């Protein structure tokens, strides 16, 4: 559904990418998006979260 | 209406004793337990009324047959159709309700419950028929004895097999290793948010189910059986989640190499002992029981005999 990351490059394609300034904002953004989208936030690597729709 | 009066009308004694045995069997098998079904007074009335019809049909069949009235058998056929509708009714009701459950029962569990409802009506027909037959052949006292025997058999076989009969159930530590969540050595899922990791670390209880044989391995792998485990435990201990929180969903995953089933759930009531008891006593679903070992052995024996 969406990607949240602190890296400026590395993601391409049709998924919306949300840029975060630091780790704290990464958590906060992912948290908000998880609640808004009723999605599950998974950690892809140290700098990126992936929001996935489940059920 | 006194006993001698009843005895001077033997047909009436057969039918009434038979019907009573049928209804009593149905009543004994109609339990509302922790699964909370059928818990509603009207649900029970429906099933008791159907039990009465089943009992009466079974009891009336005997005097009708002795009267050489063989068309009575067609009524039993009609009854079978009626009770198949009971199965449909239960399936539809439960499927409709399942959409509103935080942890759904799943189609396999619903089918299992519906089949039981149909089967129990046939059992009450059988109890009524048998009691009525014995009253006709041997008098009311042996009839009552056989009726009581039918009730005892119904109580004895009311309960099916449980999960603990086919698998070893053990509590297992829930580990969070970076984003990875593991129960024992079974990988469950990737948890992103620190908040969710904290909740899972605090609330989660994990179990490892080790199959006792190769047949049990197939049963545990069945998705319907797994959903039944999650539903039953969630009903007994509550769930720490809400709609739209997919990260806090209880889940069961298979350790592919070992065939062990890892179960993770977040109960409202954090009581590991109760949780262990409730996992152990989850009913085995008829649709999940497979016997590949027996089938393969038979095929082998056949091949040996044929060759």
Any domain includes B43: yes
Beta strands in chain B (DSSP E): 167-172, 174-177, 180-183, 186-190, 205-211, 251-254, 261-265
| Strand A48-52, strand B186-190: pairing | unpaired
Indicate whether B184 and B133 sit together in one domain.
no
Please tell me which residue of chain B has the smallest CA distance to A4: B192
DSSP A7-31: -SSS--SSS-EEE-SSHHHHHHHHH
Please indicate, yes or no, whether residues B244 and B107 belong to a single structural domain of this protein: no
Q: Is B305 inside a domain boundary? A: no
Would you call A55 helix, strand, or coil by DSSP? coil
Number of domains making up chain A: 1
| CA angle (B232, B252, B291) in 5-degree steps | 85
Asked whether residue B61 falls in the same domain as residue B125, the answer is yes
Domain hosting residue B19, numbered range: 3-158
pLDDT single digits (tens) A5-32:
887 777 777 888 888 888 888 888 888 8
Task: Compute the distance between CA of residue B87 and CA of residue B67 in angstroms, rounded to an integer.
Answer: 33
Please state, in angstroms and rounded to a whole number, the distance separating the CA atoms of residues B287 and B143.
Answer: 36
Distances from the Cα of B257 to the Cαs of B124, B135, B142, B262, in angstroms? Answer: 46, 59, 58, 12
Q: Is residue B228 part of a domain?
A: yes
A43 contacts on B by Cβ (under 8 Å) = 178-179, 190-192
| Contact across the interface for A39 and B196, Cβ inside 8 Å | no
Give residue A19's domain range: 2-52
Final residue before a domain boundary, out of B158, B181, B212: B158
How many domains are contained in chain B?
2
CB within 8 Å: A41 and B244? no
Same domain for B267 and B179, yes or no, is yes
Domain boundary among B140, B158, B176: B158
Within-domain flag for B128: yes
Cross-chain Cβ contact A27/B193 below 8 Å: yes
Q: Do B246 and A49 make contact, defined as CB atoms within 8 angstroms?
A: no
Answer whether residue B211 shows pLDDT above 70. Answer: yes
Report the pLDDT averaged over residues B161-173.
87
Is the predicted pLDDT of residue B23 greater than 80, yes or no? yes
> B261 has which bridge partners?
B209, B254
Q: Which of B192, B195, B245 lies nearest to residue A42, judging by beta carbons?
A: B192
Q: Do B154 and B172 have their domain in common?
A: no
Closest CA to B36 of B272, B232, B173: B232
Q: Give the Cα separation of B93 and B251 in Å (integer).
A: 25
In a domain, B22, yes or no: yes
Higher pLDDT, B144 or B241: B144
Q: Output the pLDDT for position B37.
A: 63
**B306 located within any domain:** no
B24 and B44 in a single domain? The answer is yes
pLDDT, mean of residues A35-48 = 84
B278 and B154 in a common domain? no
Residue that finishes a domain, picked among B158, B191, B225: B158
Q: Which residue of A has its CA nearest to B178?
A: A43
* pLDDT more than 70, % of chain B: 95
**Quick check: A49 and B249 CB within 8 A?**
no
Residue B136 counted as domain residue? yes
Contact check, Cβ <8 Å, B192/A38: no
Average pLDDT of chain B is: 84
**At B240, is the pLDDT very low, low, confident or very high (cuts 50, 70, 90)?**
confident
CA atoms of B143 and B134, how far apart (whole Å): 5
User: Are residues B111 and B133 located together in one domain of the fold?
Assistant: yes
Residue of A41, A54, A55 with shortest CB distance to B193: A41
CA angle B91, B96, B97 (to 5 degrees): 100
Q: Using CB atoms and an 8 Å cut-off, which of residues 143-182 of chain B contact chain A?
A: 178-179
Long-range contacts (CB closer than 8 Å, 24 or more residues apart) made by B73-81: B76/B125, B79/B53, B79/B54, B79/B125, B80/B122
For residue B67, what pLDDT is reported? Answer: 83
Do B152 and B193 reside in the same domain of the chain? Answer: no
| pLDDT greater at residue B5 or residue A3 | A3
Instruction: Name the token pair of B60.
Output: 């009336």
- ipTM above 0.90 for this complex: no
């Amino acid at each position: 559904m969406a990607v949240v990351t602190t890296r400026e490059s590395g993601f391409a394609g049709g998924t919306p990418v949300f840029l975060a300034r630091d780790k704290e904002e990464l958590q906060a953004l992912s948290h908000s998006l998880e609640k808004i989208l009723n999605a599950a936030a998974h950690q892809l690597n140290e700098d990126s979260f992936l929001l996935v729709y489940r059920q | 209406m006194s006993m001698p009066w009843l005895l001077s009308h033997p047909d009436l004694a057969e039918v009434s004793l038979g019907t009573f045995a049928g209804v009593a069997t149905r009543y004994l098998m109609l339990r509302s337990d922790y699964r909370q079904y059928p818990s509603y007074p009207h649900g029970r009335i429906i099933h008791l009324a159907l039990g009465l019809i089943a009992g009466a049909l079974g009891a009336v069949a005997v005097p009708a047959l002795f009267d050489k009235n063989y068309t009575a058998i067609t009524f039993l056929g009609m009854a079978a159709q009626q009770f198949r509708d009971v199965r449909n009714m239960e399936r539809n009701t439960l499927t409709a309700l399942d959409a509103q459950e935080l942890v759904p029962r799943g189609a396999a569990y619903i089918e299992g419950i519906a089949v039981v409802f149909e089967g129990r009506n046939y059992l009450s027909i059988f109890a009524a028929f048998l009691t009525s037959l014995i009253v006709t052949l041997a008098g009311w006292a042996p009839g009552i004895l056989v009726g009581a025997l039918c009730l005892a058999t119904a109580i004895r076989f009311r309960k099916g097999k449980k999960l603990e009969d086919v698998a070893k159930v053990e509590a297992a530590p829930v580990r969070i290793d970076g984003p990875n969540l593991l129960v024992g050595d079974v990988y469950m899922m990737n948890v992103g948010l620190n908040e969710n990791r904290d909740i899972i670390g605090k609330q989660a209880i994990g179990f490892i189910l080790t199959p006792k044989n190769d047949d049990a391995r197939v049963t545990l792998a069945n998705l319907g059986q797994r959903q039944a485990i999650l539903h039953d435990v969630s009903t007994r201990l509550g769930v720490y989640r809400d709609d739209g929180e997919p990260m806090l969903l209880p889940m069961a995953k298979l350790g592919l190499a070992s065939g062990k089933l890892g179960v993770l759930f977040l109960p409202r009531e954090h009581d590991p002992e109760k949780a262990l008891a409730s996992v152990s006593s989850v009913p085995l679903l008829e649709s999940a029981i497979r016997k590949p070992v027996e089938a393969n052995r038979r095929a082998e024996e056949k091949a040996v005999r044929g060759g």
